[in-house]
Amino acid sequence: MKEKVLGVLGGVGPMATVYFADLVVRMTEAETDQDHISMVILNHPTIPDRTAYILDHSKPNPVPVMVEDARRLEADGCDYIVIPCNTAHYFYDEIQRNVRVPILNILEETVRACQETVPNLKTIGVLATDGTIQSHAYQNIIERHGLTCIVPEPGDQASLMTIIYEQVKAGRPVDLFEFHRIIGEMKKRGCDAVILGCTELSIIHRDANLRRPDVVDSMECLARSSILACGKQLRRG
């Protein structure tokens, strides 16, 4: 069987791209190098900021650059493409229209994972950037699955953006107390599951060793789907 190659349209942000590749390696059942997925990783951090453009269309548009990068991955022979950035999926349809290679959708994969792992799931909370929240990307998918979506109150959303942009992206220490407090507030409001819908939050999830079945890491969901799509096995245990 022909080996499947995964293309990673990365750099959005660069730390999240490295974390995604590390996750794929760690989550693959492998005894030798040859058991792992072949990946072409395009780490392109100068792609214009996704949230800035979603909130203000006078800002630089990231789509032309991302389409060019997707085409480059296609030309390199990739069988699937992933974008390890939740916010960038606001542009998913436009990017997918410009390439023949399937792009795995992190939003769809994460909501599906919630349904598979959280018993009696009715309400999902989403922690994400302002761009992701205001685009209603997660809300639309969650509601399409017959579930209710809750997003943070304005004050908590502002605090979350500080964590994402001024702490994780800036390489500064993260206020873990505040991060856990925001998750707690979402649970108090009735969320059966809370999605970490920003790849910078996935990095906190790893660093804080947060292992709660009701907190679902979108990056882990994308890594899992990538491994299976490329015909490899998930690591047991």
Please say if the pLDDT value at position 2 is more than 90: no
Domain range summary for the chain, segments of one domain joined by + = 5-105+221-229, 107-218
Write down the CATH number for the domain with range 5-105+221-229: 3.40.50.1860
The answer to whether the CB of 11 falls within 8 A of the CB of 214 is no
The pLDDT, as a whole number, for residue 169 is 87
The pLDDT, as a whole number, for residue 237 is 64
Bridge partners, 124 (sequence order): 149, 193
The pLDDT, as a whole number, for residue 106 is 96
Q: What pLDDT, in 10s, does the model give residues 29-68? A: 999 999 999 999 999 999 999 989 999 999 999 999 999 9
Q: What pLDDT, in 10s, does the model give residues 81-121? A: 999 999 999 999 999 999 999 999 999 999 999 999 999 99
Please say if the pLDDT value at position 1 is more than 80: no
Domain 107-218 has CATH 3.40.50.11540: no
* Euclidean distance between CA atoms 7 and 103, whole angstroms: 9
Of 149, 198, 221, 230, the catalytic one is 198
Cis bond leading into 184, ω under 30°? Answer: no
The pLDDT, as a whole number, for residue 151 is 98
Calculate Rg over the CA atoms of the chain: 17
Q: Which residues of 167-176 are buried (b: 16+ CB within 10 A; e: fewer)?
A: bbbeeeebbe
How large is the average pLDDT for residues 136-142?
A: 94
107-218 shares the fold of 5-105+221-229: yes
Of 85, 114, 149, 221, the catalytic one is 85
Q: What pLDDT, in 10s, does the model give residues 171-229? A: 999 999 999 999 999 999 999 999 999 988 998 998 888 888 899 999 999 999 999 99
Residue 198 designated active-site: yes
* Euclidean distance between CA atoms 16 and 99, whole angstroms: 23
Please say if the pLDDT value at position 132 is more than 80: yes
How large is the average pLDDT for residues 133-157?
A: 96
Who contacts 32 (Cβ-Cβ below 8 Å, separation ≥6)?
A: none
The pLDDT, as a whole number, for residue 199 is 85
